[in-house]
């Protein structure tokens, strides 16, 4: 069977969808715009259906184009994977690996993992993508990421295509300023009622971590709606800075405060009989080829997991 398209035409459709411009798509693919336009017309003629809308100087994919794009991305991902598999076979221990991480993990935990890996396997080229758990999981399913560590909830519709393995427990820690009366009095443990007397700095209400913390507290009969939230910020770094400046208390990942603990800019409080932890997960595509670079990184994660549990 002769296919009515070429791999180059698939790349063109993907570039047009991404750039939303024939000119920019042509630049990305290092070809002229007339050549790109000609290839789109040839493709549409061969398929017998319009793929690209060209109305009012706005470029967008038709419904047929969007459907074709989904399959194009899968085909191109498989082509890239086959090249990587062959390169892996040819180059032995050398190779490339694309690693993903959800945002808190990518900012605080993953750099340490990558530093250790780079020491042991300097010959392997690593690329790191950091985004929300949902987007990272989708990228793993789409074969755009080889392996990832995430902390949020993985969408149900993606789980059937993923191998999901528990990695380590991440504790969400309550921190206060050094100037807070609890810190001055060297108070380490508080009870549930003490929480209602703290001024809280939080992530916004749509944050996955914020929702997770609230759910755990509610399960322990703590009315989070009665908390005195004085500020909502959009990053862990901003929250830590606000706490260290004496503005309030906050729940943050224990992996995010190592520097602050070392510099003694904050204090940790423990809530009696309550420990807030979440399980970080390693996710991979169940159908993807596992290169030697993948196996090296996966084994490194396994070593770190064993160390954390011992």
pLDDT tens string 197-252? 999 999 988 888 888 899 999 999 999 999 999 999 988 999 999 999 999 999 99
20: region left, alpha or beta (phi > 0 left; psi from -120 to 50 alpha): left
Q: Residue 41: what pLDDT?
A: 94
| pTM beyond 0.85, yes or no | no
Q: Which helix (H) or strand (E) holds 214?
A: helix 208-219
pLDDT > 90? residue 57: no
pLDDT tens string 44-56? 999 999 999 987 6
pLDDT tens string 105-157? 998 989 989 999 999 888 888 899 999 999 999 999 988 999 999 998 899 99
Q: Are 39 and 8 in contact (CB under 8 A)?
A: yes
User: Which domains, ranges and CATH numbers included, belong to the chain?
Assistant: 7-83 (1.10.10.10), 93-168+279-309 (3.40.190.10), 170-278 (3.40.190.10)
Residues 6+ apart with CB under 8 A from 113: 149, 300, 301, 304
Residues 6+ apart with CB under 8 A from 63: none
CA pair distance 156, 153, nearest whole angstrom: 9
Helix axes 110-120, 292-309, angle to 10 degrees: 120
Q: Residue 234: what pLDDT?
A: 87
């Amino acid at each position: 069977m002769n296919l009515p398209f070429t791999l180059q035409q698939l790349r063109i459709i993907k570039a047009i969808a991404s750039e939303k411009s024939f000119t920019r798509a042509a630049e990305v693919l290092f070809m002229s715009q007339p050549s790109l336009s000609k290839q789109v017309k040839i493709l549409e003629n061969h398929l017998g259906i319009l793929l690209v809308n060209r109305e009012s100087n706005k470029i967008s994919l038709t419904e047929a184009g969007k459907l074709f794009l989904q399959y194009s991305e899968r085909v191109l991902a498989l082509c890239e994977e086959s090249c990587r598999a062959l390169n892996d076979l040819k180059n032995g221990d050398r190779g490339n690996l694309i690693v993903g991480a959800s945002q808190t993990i990518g900012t605080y935990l993953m750099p340490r993992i990558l530093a250790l890996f780079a020491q042991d396997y300097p010959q392997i080229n690593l690329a790191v993508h950091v985004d929300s758990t949902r987007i990272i999981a989708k990228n793993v399913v789409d074969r755009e990421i080889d392996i990832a560590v995430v902390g949020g909830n993985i969408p149900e519709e993606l789980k059937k295509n993923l191998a999901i393995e528990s990695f380590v427990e991440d504790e969400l820690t309550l921190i206060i300023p050094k100037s807070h009366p609890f810190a001055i009095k060297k108070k380490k443990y508080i009870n549930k009622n003490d929480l209602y007397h703290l001024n809280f700095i939080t992530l916004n209400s749509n944050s996955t971590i914020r929702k997770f913390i609230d759910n755990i507290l509610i399960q322990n009969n703590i009315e989070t709606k009665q908390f005195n939230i004085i500020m909502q910020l959009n990053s862990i770094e901003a929250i830590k800075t606000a706490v260290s400046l004496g503005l309030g208390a906050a729940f943050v990942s224990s992996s995010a405060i190592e520097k602050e603990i070392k510099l003694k800019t904050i204090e940790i409080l423990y809530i009696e009989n309550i420990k807030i932890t979440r399980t970080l997960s390693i996710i991979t595509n169940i159908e993807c080829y596992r290169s030697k670079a993948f196996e090296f990184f996966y084994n490194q994660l396994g070593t770190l997991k064993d160390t954390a549990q011992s």
